[in-house]
């Protein structure tokens, strides 16, 4: 019996956006409705980093690869949801050490962020030293339940160390209802070409 | 050994859009780049019906349900890819009859549309009588390799008969490289709320 657990953020006007910046809010423009036409149609105006999304290297690395460089076989695979709900500020190298990250693993960090339904500027993030430890371990990717994997630290070292190691970064997960453990991750970004990120529908599967 | 076959259209400016309408083209707006900032960011301006997408009942039914009413368990499931590459104009009730549609089945129609990499106004569509036959059979959903399941026929009967029967409609599939047969369908729409459709990443899986 297959179970599916959606770990994506709903996307609509008024949703949490990074740093509560108004210009990052989604806008849904009705371009046709039944008052004047026979079909209802909508144009979406949304940031590539809206809600649950996958960063491409170009987001932080000049000349970096764009989102289509990340292929489905890297995103549909085993993952491990780890409990870091005890962390209050930043995930440090020692926290990573305790997890025992293995080469090729995809880790999803469940933190206290998952209980926030608003943008919390004090969200738990991944420190640069933790990112280095993850990179050294050869992990395949990380996911976090915040709209950023770091809080815009100078130099964006967390992003860069992960990206330079080829690790995929998924941001904006919703893990409140997920028990720590091993799952099949299905991360399905829009098939965008040439850009620095893609919003994604992401869910966990057990067979 | 799992195999994954992406059946989504790449999304980028210049891609095929319905009736080649310029206002339906995606626009990728660079909102930050390395000439003035330390990160690259993009805002997407795209129709909800861009590329591979799932229609919600609201698209054609006044007061119809919006896209979040279609849940993942309806979209991650068995499907059957059927070969209708011999059809030259419209899929008719007799074509459907030959397929022997079963209650609860999700059918993906592979037609000669899959070999077009441009918007062909003469795309193969599903006739209203075929839609009625599918509805009568109690199918769960249909997918087609065209940007529409019909060519804007007066009254949009194909859409309406399927939607009124609760059948899900996926448009814009790319099936050129897919052999007819049974697969696990993974159709992952963006988690949009309150709108008439959602672009989706869609792929076929074998275990």
Tell me the ipTM for this assembly: 0.97
User: CB contact, 8 Å: A57 with chain B?
Assistant: no
Q: How far apart are CA A180 and CA A80, in angstroms?
A: 7
Which residues 184-203 on chain A approach chain B with CB closer than 8 angstroms? 186, 188-197, 199-201, 203
Q: Among A2, A59, A200, select the one facing B39 at the smallest CB separation.
A: A59
Percent of chain B at pLDDT exceeding 70: 100
Report pLDDT digits (tens) over B73-120: 999 999 999 999 999 999 999 999 999 999 999 999 999 999 998 999
Average pLDDT over residues B57-69: 98
> Number of CB pairs < 8 Å for A and B?
157
SS3 A58: helix
Residue tagged 């959903």 (tokens):
B141
Closest-CA residue of chain B to A160: B39
* Res B152 pLDDT > 90: no
User: CA of A98, closest CA in chain B: separation in Å?
Assistant: 31
Q: Answer yes or no: do B59 and A40 touch at CB < 8 A.
A: yes
Average pLDDT over residues A190-197: 98
Among B139, B145, B93, B98, smallest CA distance to B120 is for B145
At A11 the pLDDT is: 98
Residue numbers in A near B173 (CB within 8 A): none
pLDDT-based confidence at A152, cuts 50/70/90?
Answer: confident
Mutation target to probe the B interface, by most B beta carbons within 10 A, among A41, A54, A75 is: A41
Query: Any idea which residues of A carry the catalytic annotation?
Result: 59
Decide: A22 and A125 in contact? Cβ < 8 Å: no
* Res A42 pLDDT > 90: yes
This model's pTM is above 0.90: yes
Q: Answer yes or no: do B76 and A205 touch at CB < 8 A.
A: yes
pLDDT-based confidence at A1, cuts 50/70/90?
Answer: confident
Among B200, B149, B147, B112, smallest CA distance to B19 is for B147
Q: b vs e for B7-33, b when ≥16 Cβ sit within 10 Å of the residue's Cβ? A: bbbebbeebbbbeeeeebbbebeebee
User: CB contact, 8 Å: A126 with chain B?
Assistant: no
In A22-179, the DSSP E strands lie at 27-32, 41-47, 53-55, 76-83, 90-91, 106-110, 125-126, 141-144, 168-171
Q: Which residues contact B84 (CB under 8 A, 6 or more apart)?
A: B91, B95, B109, B110, B111, B124
Q: Check B45, B59, B156, B159 and give the catalytic one.
A: B59
């Amino acid at each position: 019996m297959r179970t599916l657990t959606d770990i994506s953020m709903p996307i609509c006007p008024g949703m949490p956006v990074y740093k509560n910046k108004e210009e990052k809010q989604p806008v849904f423009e009705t371009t046709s409705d039944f008052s004047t036409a026979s079909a209802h149609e909508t144009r979406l105006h949304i940031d590539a980093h809206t809600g649950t999304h996958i960063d491409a290297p170009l987001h932080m690395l000049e000349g970096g690869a764009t989102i289509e460089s990340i292929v489905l076989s890297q995103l549909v695979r085993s993952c491990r949801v780890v409990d870091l709900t005890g962390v209050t500020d930043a995930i440090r190298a020692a926290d990573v050490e305790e997890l025992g990250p293995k080469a090729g693993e995809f880790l999803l960090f469940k933190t206290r962020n998952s209980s926030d339904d608003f943008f919390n500027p004090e969200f738990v993030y991944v420190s640069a030293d933790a990112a280095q430890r993850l990179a050294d371990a050869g992990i395949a990717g990380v996911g976090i339940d915040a709209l950023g994997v770091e809080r815009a630290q100078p130099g964006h070292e967390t992003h860069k160390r992960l990206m330079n190691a080829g690790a995929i970064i998924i941001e904006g997960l919703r893990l409140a209802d997920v028990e720590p453990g091993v799952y099949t991750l299905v991360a399905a970004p829009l098939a965008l070409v040439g850009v620095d990120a893609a919003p994604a529908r992401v869910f966990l599967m057990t067979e």
